[in-house]
Structures are given as structure tokens and as C-alpha cells.
Amino acid sequence: MKATYVAVAFLAVGLATGCSVVGLSPEQEAEAYLSRVAQAEAPWLAAIDRFDRTLSGSYSTRNAFLRGLKNAGLAEGAKDSHAAAGQLTAPDGLAADHEAWLEFRRSVDVLAPDLEQATAIGDVVTVLAARRALGEAEAEFLLAVSRKFCLHLAAVDPAEDCAPDDSLPGGEYGTAAYETLREYAIRVGPLFLTSSTLDQSQRTKYLAGVQPEIEVLLRDTGERLRRLTPPDEFAVDHEALLSYFDAQYQTAAAITVANAAGDDQGIVELYAESAQLFETLQQSLSEAVRPIVNPAF
């Protein structure tokens, strides 16, 4: 499960100046536009990558940690990417994707300064909440755009975050299950953002904020899958998925209870149980169902 996306390499033709390229076919025009989208995203991607590497790193002092966060340049990266986005015009067929992208860029413009302000305050829980808001805006963006657009703003493996093509097995079931698991994976990613600098009281506050959302997402995903009717060849895999989401929901609810009780050892044990549930499911799924469950497993 990924929380950030990376841009693919840029096409060389006509990108440096940002001007229109004449004499291109509609397909070439679309490819040139999408590559310029990737180029426009580069400043923001670099800034958020610097921030996330700092967030997940280990530092000898709190001041060094906060200094690294402040030096990521989030507001500047957001401003530069939005300015570049405003210079582009989408070709026919990509107008809806373009508007979803601009909406994301507008959201980042609002949220990035909030994250920088939280960093200035020095409250790591507030920093994580602000970073989570950015991740949730990104999730809405990725879920809104077409596969063609998404492939140019894809996660590490585009097959995990973009709408499926026509090669999925299972017909309507395969597509519906894939989309359910894709949305789950994209939405759950921001909920697991954390920092090694959290002390016990901060971790308790952090978990109190994210656990209810995790519970709802696990419950709703399981319910969506339960409404699907698999072909006979996927019946066993489908039941395994239903059992997995039911068990993970129960585990998440137990973590919420343990956190409220200040039971750190209980939380550690429940996280281990959650990880074991994941590993068990991975081992039980058939090779035939892998393309369908790939977004989350």
C-alpha cells in the first residue's frame, strides 16, 4: 500500500518551453500533455519526498528532526507545481482528468502551509494529522482520474493504483473486486503514516485519531466485497478475503480499546496479529486471483 505517487520520465519533444507542439496526432498530443503534467508535478514530488524521508528517519535530537521537516520546502514545491499546472491546457478526452488534477493542486496549496505551520509548532501528532490530510487529498485525486492519466502519475507499481485495463480475469466480479481493493489500499495508506519520534503520550493521541477511520475502512471494504458474487473459480479466494477483512476489523477495534486503556504491550501483540493475518492471506490466495487482489495484496 502506497501513499505517494511518482512521475514517469518526461518526453523530450516540446517540454522545455511549455509551448504548444504543432503537427502532432491526437495521440501524440495527449502523450506530450501527460508528460508535461509529470514535469509540472516534479517540484512537489521532490518536496514531499524530502519531508517523508525526514518523517520516517531517526534523529539524535528533536531539533534536528524539526529542522529537516522545515527544510523540505513544501510550500515552495506546491507553489511551483501549481504554477506549472496553470500553464497547461488539456487535449480532448483529458479535460475531466485535468480538472481533477487542478483540484488536487488547489488542495495542496491549502494544505501544504498547514503542514509547515504544524511543523513550526513542533507537535508531531499535529504534523502527522496535517500530512494525513495531504495523503487523503492525493487519494481522492488518484481515484478520480482515468487509467491513462494515472499511468503518468503512478505509484511504484501503476497496477496497484490505477484503474484496471481489460485484461483482468473474473469479468464483472474481477473488476468490482479490484476497484474495491484499489480504493481500500489508496485510502488506507495515509492512515498508516507515522514517525519514530512519537513518545508514548503522542502515540496514544495519534492512534486515537486514526483507529476509528481504519475500522470504518476495513468494515466498509468487507461489506462491499460481501455484496459481490464470485465465479466458482474464485469462490475460495473470495471467502478468504471476507474472513481477512472481518478479522482485521476485529483486530483494529481491539487496538482502539488497548490504546484507550494505555496497554502498550497489548497494542504490540495486536499489531503482530494483524501482520500475521496479512501473511496468512498472502499464502492462501491462488495465483489465478492475483491480478484482482494486486492493489492491496
CATH classification at residue 67: 1.20.120
Residues 43 and 120 in one domain: yes
- pLDDT bin (cut points 50, 70, 90) of residue 18 is very low
Residues 157 and 12 in one domain: yes
Backbone angles phi, psi at 6, to 5 degrees: -125, 150
Residues 119 and 132 in one domain: yes
Residues 138 and 75 in one domain: yes
Residues 80 and 225 in one domain: no
- pLDDT bin (cut points 50, 70, 90) of residue 22 is low
Indicate if the pLDDT at residue 39 is higher than 80.
Answer: yes
Residue bearing cell 490530510: 133
Domain end residue (candidates: 130, 163, 196): 163
The pLDDT, as a whole number, for residue 280 is: 97
The pLDDT, as a whole number, for residue 122 is: 86
List pLDDT tens digits, range 121-160.
Answer: 888 999 999 999 999 999 999 999 999 999 887 444 677 8
List pLDDT tens digits, range 268-297.
Answer: 999 999 999 999 999 999 999 999 999 999
Residues 18 and 127 in one domain: yes
Q: Which residues are 6's β-sheet partners?
A: 154
Residues 153 and 232 in one domain: no
Q: How far apart are CA 256 and CA 219, in angstroms?
A: 14
Domain span at residue 272 reads 168-297
The pLDDT, as a whole number, for residue 239 is: 98
Residues 114 and 18 in one domain: yes
The proportion of the chain whose per-residue pLDDT surpasses 90, expressed as a percent, equals 72
The pLDDT, as a whole number, for residue 178 is: 97
Instruction: Give alpha helix (H) positions in 145-199.
Output: 147-150, 158-161, 171-188
Q: From residue 287, how far is each of 26, 282, 297 by CA, in Å? A: 38, 10, 12
Domain end residue (candidates: 163, 191, 222): 163
Residues 133 and 184 in one domain: no
The pLDDT, as a whole number, for residue 292 is: 97
Of 123 and 263, the one with more pLDDT: 263
Question: Three-state DSSP class for 197?
Answer: coil
The pLDDT, as a whole number, for residue 245 is: 98
Give the mean pLDDT of 80-99: 95
Q: What's the mean pLDDT when you consider all of the chain?
A: 89
The pLDDT, as a whole number, for residue 157 is: 65
Residues 108 and 191 in one domain: no
List pLDDT tens digits, range 171-183.
Answer: 999 999 999 999 9
Residues 111 and 152 in one domain: yes
List pLDDT tens digits, range 205-260.
Answer: 999 999 999 999 999 999 999 999 999 999 999 999 999 999 999 999 999 999 99
Domain end residue (candidates: 115, 134, 163): 163
- pLDDT bin (cut points 50, 70, 90) of residue 63 is confident
- pLDDT bin (cut points 50, 70, 90) of residue 57 is confident
Instruction: Identify residue 160 by its one-letter amino acid code.
Output: E
Residues 232 and 120 in one domain: no
Q: From residue 8, how far is each of 35, 42, 183 by CA, in Å? A: 8, 10, 22
Query: Total domain count for the chain?
Result: 2
The proportion of the chain whose per-residue pLDDT surpasses 70, expressed as a percent, equals 91
